[in-house]
Amino acid sequence: MPRLHPKTPQLRILNEFTKDVDAFRLSHYFYKQKDTKGGKLISGPPWDYNLTFGNNDFTTNFHKPENWIHTHRIAVYWWQRALEDPWFANQLHCRWDGVYATVMSLESMNEMSYLRDWIGDRLNWINDRWGGMI
């Protein structure tokens, strides 16, 4: 019986998507459920996303959208080992397929573009009224 909780792949997807350089070594916590509640190892909660989405300069390639964070030399070895487990790999791939078809679909990314544009318009509007007041 697998010891990892079935939702563990969700945080892995979030950390790889955001390219969180601290995710697989410094800023990743686990806790164990009580045996009476299943006794699974739970991954999370998500936190510490200040060095994500390319906001880092640790190496020549961390800021690029290509490549994995979990395979970099700074990651703890058992993340790669988790992918060798058929149960975990299946959970990860199934969850990714679900996420990519819904919240990370191209349609959803268009919504993010709308939000980006709205925030930009809002900042410009506020700056037009408050800018240079100091």
Q: pTM (2 decimals)? A: 0.76
**Nearest-angstrom CA–CA distance, 88 and 102:** 21
Q: Say what the alpha-carbon torsion angle 85, 51, 117, 12 is, to the nearest 10 degrees.
A: 10
Give per-residue pLDDT as tens, 39-51.
888 888 888 889 8
Same domain, 77 and 13: yes
Q: Is the pLDDT of residue 134 over 60?
A: no
Q: Is the pLDDT of residue 132 over 70?
A: yes
**Nearest-angstrom CA–CA distance, 126 and 29:** 39
Short-list 108, 95, 112, CA closest to 12? 95
Same domain, 127 and 68: no
The mean pLDDT value for 48-56 works out to 87
Domain that residue 67 falls in: 8-103
Same domain, 98 and 114: no
Task: State the pLDDT at residue 97.
Answer: 95
Task: State the pLDDT at residue 1.
Answer: 43
User: What does the mean pLDDT of the chain come to?
Assistant: 85
Same domain, 90 and 50: yes
Give per-residue pLDDT as tens, 103-125.
889 888 888 888 899 999 999 99
Confidence of residue 102 (pLDDT cuts 50, 70, 90): very high
CB-CB neighbours of 5 under 10 Å:
20
Does residue 122 form part of some domain?
A: yes
Q: How many domains does the chain have?
A: 2
